[in-house]
Amino acid sequence: MSAVGLHVNGVGAVSPAGWSSAELHQAVRKGEPLPSNDCLRPSDRAWACPVRLVPPAPPEKLMRHPRTRRVSSITRFSVAAAFEALRDAGIDPAVPQPRLGILFCMMNGCVNYTGRFYQEVLENPAQASPLIFPETVFNAPASHIAALLGVDGAVSTLLGNGNCIMEALDMAAIWIGAGTIDHCLLIGAEECDWLSAEALSYYHRNNVCAEGAGALLVSASGPGPRIQSITGPYAYHSWKERRDLLPELVAQTSVPASAVLIDDRSGIPKIDAAETAAWSTKAWSTVHSPKRVIGESMGASASLQLIVATLETRASGHASVISMPGTNTAAYACVLE
């Protein structure tokens, strides 16, 4: 893929662990699942539906700007993560960034305002709020961030699997290589709603829905960890095909000595079995499983993995291998060094 050679020079995160990448990293290193709450649903249910929500924002993380007055949670999470990533890379978000690209990744998107708007449509179409409707579109978070940062081009939103940020990385490399932009902000984000939370619980009662956002600033050069290699995409159409492909994915991934594994396991043996078996053939200095701690964050999950890997590589000096087997269409692995 084109993204090999890019440097991850800045990271930012909002997660159930808190409003910073450092809090995410600390929680994942600790390895204990974060507390969960029962999801509020529109009608009585006889079974529990646990979720892990982002805690209230500290005052310094609240963006006071006309654009953020009515935005949904997914945009608030993404703005905070994006601004942290820029500051982490030594870029002042208050200075317009016309040579900055933005690629936003999601699976569900702006579900809370979408549900609210269409509920109003069903109840009384004449009274459905035109102020809410703009926040229902998939590109709303990216457009808000672009406006806040003074970005006037090369902004797009990708919908896909939890690991679709790998496609965003490839697109960012093409933009940078073509001279369209100098840096690219990659963001994966989701907000929690009862429908997706309950749907996840049908796969397994311990499959906990989480929300948040992860942002990475990538460039052709810089002091940050370098993407040494990418394996994949390995396409599949069923979990049987996925199980059969993962050993080949692992075999084709060159694992440096004393590497750290950042895997996609959730702590549910039925879901984790194929990934556990595939990567157990390699030796690791440390293994971290962000989903065991924060839950299933869907479109944000791979971005949060990459952030943990970046911080782990910075802190330890060892390479990090990120396992991203996906859940629907394709599997990837990535080495940061």
Q: Which helix (H) or strand (E) holds 332?
A: strand 330-336
Structure tokens at 45: 């249910």
Can you tell me the distance from the alpha carbon of 146 to that of 142, in angstroms, rounded to the nearest whole number? 6
Instruction: Evaluate whether 160 touches 296 at the Cβ level (below 8 Å).
Output: no
- In three-state secondary structure terms, 326 is coil
CA angle, 231 then 83 then 93, to 5°:
120
Q: For position 119, what pLDDT does the model report?
A: 84
Q: For position 98, what pLDDT does the model report?
A: 87
Q: Which helix (H) or strand (E) holds 106?
A: strand 100-106
**Is 330 exposed, middle or buried, given 0-12, 13-18 or 19+ CB atoms closer than 10 A?**
buried
Q: Which of 318, 337, 324, 302 is nearest to 260 (CA)?
A: 318
Q: What is the mean pLDDT of each run of 10 residues along the chain (337 residues)?
A: 93 98 98 92 81 93 78 93 97 92 94 84 85 86 93 92 95 96 97 91 91 98 97 95 96 96 96 96 96 96 98 96 95 97
Contacts with 251 (C-beta within 8 Å, 6 or more apart), sequence order: none
Q: For position 232, what pLDDT does the model report?
A: 93
Q: For position 47, what pLDDT does the model report?
A: 79
Instruction: Evaluate whether 335 touches 321 at the Cβ level (below 8 Å).
Output: yes
**Polymer length in residues for the chain:** 337
Find the DSSP H helices in the chain. Answer: 21-30, 73-88, 111-123, 140-149, 165-177, 194-203, 239-251, 269-279, 290-294, 301-316
Q: Which of 266, 110, 267, 102 is nearest to 168 (CA)?
A: 102
- In three-state secondary structure terms, 141 is helix
